[in-house]
Amino acid sequence: ERRKGRRVNGMPTKMQPCEPYYAREEEDEEEEDVAAVVYEKSSPEISSSEKASRAKKYAFLSSPVGTKYNPADLSLRDESYDVLLLGSGVETLYAAALLARAGRKVCVLSPMEDVSECMVIEEKKKSNTKSLFANVPFDVKATNISHLSKQQHLLAPALSTTTDAQGGIRFARIGSHNDGYAHSILSVPGLGTDNTSNESMIPLVLNADGPMALADYCATCLGDGFPGSTTDLDGNKNTNEMDNIGNSTSLGYLQACKQINSGSGDYYLSKLFAAPTKSDASNVYHQATIRPASNFLDKCLPLNPHIRSLMAAIGNPNENLSPNQTSMAAHVSHLCAMTSTEGMAYPVGGPRALCHALASVIEQCDGRVVTGVSLQELL
């Protein structure tokens, strides 16, 4: 109940109540029946009422998110909206859902057939063989969630419904206790060697051991200084992070990135809702958005090219861009996420479930989510 009452700056005290996405009526009854049969066969030990509830969720997950654009439908042209959002993915729908809950009438226009950006292998109707993965949504972007303890209270204002603070969405931690909740594998050419060939690449596994473990790796394998002790002379845990840095340039770099990233949430929310006063942390993060990551890397890590390459790789895990083409803000946010002691989590049901929940909130607040739109033609 406390979570459902949370608001972000700019949102009204009372928000329009919404039903969970799986509680709404499904238009395609045939698709729901198919999902029910599939679930019945795979879960014989589940009660009939639970089977029916889960089958309805399966039906939603088997259908794309959004309404396909129909050129003959003139309502899209004739209706007026407060906010128009162009794009796809969880981030677009999250921003739209927050604005919708704040009383704005929003319209999301996506050039993709599925706003969740999932890809599907369609089963050929004339084929006699059935594919194991036919019609199963594939997450091609790897929608991992970091800092889950912080993300949940940011997601609640957009997802909360009459029965659930998270709109029926749950998250599963990636990895297991045995592997330290490993979530990513990086291969940096020449890391720790004098050879930059692919044969010399030694994969680095990132898990939830945190910055201190990464600093120990840098000291042991990459010639960096060792971090300071985590306990004082009396054996008590040292809570001052600056004292833990010791001679480790990598740990000092990670701590600096953490301080810059502390204002990221306030900064991005201020783009949606005007904050009365901007915090110092938000202003620092704003300065990071207009600077390339290469400036920060070169000034803070000038002596050890291996440490610099590793931090650049962790800070740009999915971008096919060099550090001088990457925003420093994106770099520090990625770096803090990849080295978090919480590891990474993944939405149960994938991004399609999360996007269905967000799209449901938007539509219940009189907004629209339209797919297959040729943005150039529309504009």
Band the pLDDT of 31: cuts 50, 70, 90.
very low
Query: Which sign does the torsion angle of CA 351, 357, 363, 365 carry?
Result: negative
Task: Tell which residue, 363, 357, 367, 359, has the closest CA to residue 160.
Answer: 357
Buried b / exposed e along 268-283 (16+ C-beta atoms within 10 A): bbbebeebeeeeebbe
Query: Which sign does the torsion angle of CA 33, 39, 44, 50 carry?
Result: negative
Task: Tell which residue, 359, 375, 367, 370, has the closest CA to residue 69.
Answer: 370
Instruction: Specify whether the CB–CB gap between 140 and 119 falls below 8 A.
Output: yes
Looking at the predicted structure, is the pLDDT value of residue 218 above 70? yes
Residue 36: what pLDDT? 46
Instruction: Give the pLDDT mean for 275-291.
Output: 84
Residue 1: what pLDDT? 55
Residue 29: what pLDDT? 46
Query: Which sign does the torsion angle of CA 120, 121, 125, 128 carry?
Result: negative
Mean pLDDT of the chain: 82
Residue 154: what pLDDT? 82
Residue reference for tokens 């993060």 = 285
Residue 337: what pLDDT? 94
Note the maximum CA span of the chain: 76
Looking at the predicted structure, is the pLDDT value of residue 37 above 50? no
Band the pLDDT of 48: cuts 50, 70, 90.
confident
Residue 70: what pLDDT? 87
Instruction: Give the pLDDT mean for 246-263.
Output: 92
Instruction: Specify whether the CB–CB gap between 355 and 137 falls below 8 A.
Output: no
**Percent residues over pLDDT 90 in the chain:** 43
- SS3 (DSSP) at 206: strand
Residue 333: what pLDDT? 94
Residue reference for tokens 């194991």 = 132
Q: Is 301 exposed, middle or buried (0-12, 13-18, 19+ CB in 10 A)?
A: buried
Looking at the predicted structure, is the pLDDT value of residue 175 above 60? yes
Contacts of 52 (CB under 8 A, 6+ apart): 36
| The model's pTM | 0.83
Pick the range with the lowest mean pLDDT from 35-44, 236-245, 331-340: 35-44
Residue reference for tokens 């949370």 = 6
Instruction: Give the pLDDT mean for 322-349.
Output: 93
Distance, CA of 26 to CA of 215 (rounded, Å): 51
Q: How far is CA 155 from the centre of its chain?
A: 11
Residue 27: what pLDDT? 47
Task: Pick 260 or 192 by higher pLDDT.
Answer: 260
